[in-house]
Amino acid sequence: MDSILKFKDIDSKLLTHLNACVKCGLCADSCMFYKKFSDPDYIPASKVALVSSIYRRYNTLSGRLIPSLVGAEKMSQEMAERMVDLLFGACTMCGRCVKHCSIGVDIAFVVRKGREMLAEMGLVPSTLQSTVDAAVNTGNNMGIPEDEFVGTISWMEEELRDELNDQNASIPLNQKGKRVFYTLNPREPKFFPLSISAMAKIFYAAGESWTLSSKYYDVTNYGFFNGNKREAALIAKNLHDEVIGLNSALLVLGECGHGSRANRWEAPNYLCKEYEFDMTTAVELTSSYIREGKIKLDPTLNKEAVTIHDPCNLVRNGGLLQEIRFVVNSSAQNVTEMTPCGNDNYCCGGGGGLLAMSEYNDRRVGAGEIKADQIRKSGAKVVVTPCHNCVDQLTQLNHTYKLGVKIKTIAELVADAIIIEKT
Amino acid sequence: MATLEIEGKVFEVDGDGFLTEPSLWNEEVAMLFAKNDGIEEMNDKHWAIVNIIRRNFDEKGNAPMIRTICQETGLKLREIYELFPLGPARGACKVAGLPKPDGCV
């Protein structure tokens, strides 16, 4: 145990953040789990203290010699269970607490480090691990066989041709030298393919040169959640190498919060290299099409009141606040905001891999009541969000709390507003 | 292990309410699970979807692609989403007694 929990190199960022927390408790009210359940263990500072106590015990002299005087605690069965429950099951690493911390302690980072410790000990919940295993073993997190993926893409291509009344409309597969390499969340081909044809319609209208890969199209990387950097690097490398293989200039990350973050901001660190190609998100690319006049939109085609759910990894932790609003406002005539929204938005409740972990279903849907109330108060009939994980949690909240709204991706909203000019 | 009680019958389920032991599934279980998710009565279309999911699971050990469900039932995508408001995974697969699929569902 000592050798597993003893860091080989000093992690100066972790040390700084662990030492900086003064346990003032200001973070408490920023956390949806604490707000909903009032359990003091859910206070973000308590989670920092948990990681800190283990770190001190195995990485400092005082922690080894006089543990009780410096708040150092030994790893035990009980402690391990507590850490799994709080760091995997009661935190989505949404980072709202970080914004509310008077010192700026990166609590989400500390939680991720805690998850890394648990991963080293082999304590990742099996429900989360199976999603990582599927990605590592099959190339996508739902284990979709390649022929079934190809069949679904041809089917969507047929639908697209019918909708556009143009037999040349296409969803290209495995084409080399295209400008854009597009990616998907596997739940799209498996269960919700309308967002694939919606994005294909946008590419068609913009006259984009693009392709999908039939092998590595998965934008997700659950290695970002399970704390196993080796697996995260392996998953990132598969996608990286495929983009190189198909010789594309721009990797476009489909609508996925953590996947965008993991690929764009974390993956070059996983692989210890600078990427040879550029990367952007589907929302930013769509925004550029609108700004450059490549696609024309008629917002009156989306008449119902729309509100935006900001995915934590794209807005608070990704900087897409204005881009999302520009695209949505260009596509719908009646856009209303939730309170709070943008960088201070509440997580949907399903982030951090929580949606994959069945054992925390009640807690996840319970914490999501805050989001459900926000949606209800907004008066909107449609909730759009550029993240498939959020879409799924919001769908469950919609059903559980009887919100009576429609949940859509941004591409679906944009596709409904597109005017195709026949030449 | 969680349990779910519907109309006096108790089932072992995972935290998301999916049947723990898929072999215990039968038509009565399907109707009870559907009712628990707000589907008062299973119509022919519900059954067509559930039967295809179940057959795929028995043959291949997993849920079919939505394309297979559409092609074999002749139903449109949007109809399936309306028939099972929780979606093909949390809605239809749960009623069909499958384990929860991996991924963002």
Residue B28, min C-alpha distance to chain A (Å): 23
**What value, to the nearest 5°, has the Cα angle with vertex A211 and ends A230 and A277?**
50
Q: Which of A:29-48 have CB within 8 Å of B?
A: none
Instruction: Report whether pLDDT(A422) > 90.
Output: no
pLDDT, one tens digit per residue, over B14-39 is: 999 999 999 999 999 999 999 999 99
* Contact yes or no for A367/A376 (Cβ under 8 A): no
Tell me: do A217 and A360 sit in the same domain: no
The label of the residue with tokens 């099951």 reads A89
- Single-letter residue type at A383: V
d(CA B105, CA B95): 15
| Nearest C-alpha in B relative to A129 | B102
Give me the catalytic one of B1, B15, B43, B104: B104
A5: buried, middle or exposed (CB in 10 Å: 19+, 13-18, 0-12)? middle
pLDDT, one tens digit per residue, over A401-415 is: 999 999 999 999 999
Tell me: do A204 and A275 sit in the same domain: yes
Whether residues B104 and A392 touch (CB distance < 8 A) is answered with: yes
Tell me: do A102 and A224 sit in the same domain: no
State what percent of residues in chain A have pLDDT above 90. Answer: 97
| Nearest C-alpha in A relative to B99 | A358
A214 touches chain B (CB under 8 A): no
Tell me: do A273 and A321 sit in the same domain: no
CATH number reported for the structural domain that contains residue A355 in this entry: 3.40.50
Instruction: Report whether pLDDT(A1) > 80.
Output: no
State what percent of residues in chain A have pLDDT above 70. Answer: 100
Whether residues A395 and B87 touch (CB distance < 8 A) is answered with: yes
Q: Which of A:173-202 have CB within 8 Å of B?
A: 185-187, 189-194
Helices (H) and strands (E) in chain B, counts: 6, 2
What is the structure's pLDDT at A9? 82
pLDDT, one tens digit per residue, over A119-162 is: 999 999 999 999 999 999 999 999 999 999 999 999 999 999 99
Count contacts between A and B (CB, < 8 Å): 92
Closest to B102 (Cβ–Cβ): which among A143, A362, A389?
Answer: A143
Closest-CA residue to A411 (of A193, A202, A157, A187): A202
Instruction: Report whether pLDDT(A61) > 70.
Output: yes
B1 touches chain A (CB under 8 A): no
Tell me: do A230 and A178 sit in the same domain: yes
Mean pLDDT by 10 residues, chain B (105 residues): 90 94 95 95 97 96 96 96 95 96 85
Tell me: do A399 and A305 sit in the same domain: yes
Which residues of A fall within a CB distance of 8 Å from B66? 152, 190-193
What is the structure's pLDDT at A423? 63
Average pLDDT, chain A: 97
* Contact yes or no for A309/A383 (Cβ under 8 A): yes
Token pair listed for A62: 């005082």
Tell me: do A232 and A336 sit in the same domain: no
Q: How confident is the model at residue A276 (pLDDT cuts 50, 70, 90)?
A: very high
pLDDT, one tens digit per residue, over A187-196 is: 999 999 999 9
B45: buried, middle or exposed (CB in 10 Å: 19+, 13-18, 0-12)? middle
Token pair listed for B31: 């109707």
Task: Decide which of A289, A311, A326 is a domain's last residue.
Answer: A289
Instruction: Report whether pLDDT(A104) > 80.
Output: yes
Residue A332, min C-alpha distance to chain B (Å): 21
Domains of chain B with bracketed CATH? 2-95 (1.10.10.370)
A279-295 core/surface letters (b: 16 or more CB in 10 A; e: else): bbbbbbbbbebbeeeeb
**Residue A271 CA to chain centroid, in angstroms?**
20
Average pLDDT over residues A388-394: 97
Average pLDDT over residues A176-183: 98
B93 is catalytic: no
Domain of A197 in residue numbering reads as 128-289
Instruction: Report whether pLDDT(A111) > 70.
Output: yes
CB atoms closer than 10 angstroms to residue B59: 9
Which residues of B fall within a CB distance of 8 Å from A190? 63, 65-66, 89, 101, 103, 105
* Contact yes or no for A364/A355 (Cβ under 8 A): yes
A120-139 core/surface letters (b: 16 or more CB in 10 A; e: else): eeebbbebbbbbbbbbbebb
pLDDT, one tens digit per residue, over A204-262 is: 999 999 999 999 999 999 999 999 999 999 999 999 999 999 999 999 999 999 999 99
Q: Which of B:34-63 have CB within 8 Å of A?
A: 37-38, 62-63
Tell me: do A113 and A144 sit in the same domain: no
Q: How confident is the model at residue A10 (pLDDT cuts 50, 70, 90)?
A: confident
* Contact yes or no for A278/A241 (Cβ under 8 A): no
The label of the residue with tokens 């030492």 reads A19
Tell me: do A198 and A236 sit in the same domain: yes
Tell me: do A278 and A322 sit in the same domain: no
CB atoms closer than 10 angstroms to residue B85: 14
Instruction: Report whether pLDDT(A5) > 90.
Output: no
Tell me: do A148 and A285 sit in the same domain: yes
Task: Decide which of A267, A289, A311 is a domain's last residue.
Answer: A289
Average pLDDT over residues A336-347: 98
Q: Which of B:16-35 have CB within 8 Å of A?
A: 16-18
Domain count within chain A:
3
**Residue A350 CA to chain centroid, in angstroms?**
9
Residue B5, min C-alpha distance to chain A (Å): 16
Tell me: do A301 and A409 sit in the same domain: yes
What is the structure's pLDDT at B103? 84
DSSP string, B31-75: HHHHHHTT--S--HHHHHHHHHHHHHHHHHSSPPPHHHHHHHH--
Closest-CA residue to B84 (of B72, B69, B99, B71): B69
Task: Decide which of A93, A108, A123 is a domain's last residue.
Answer: A123
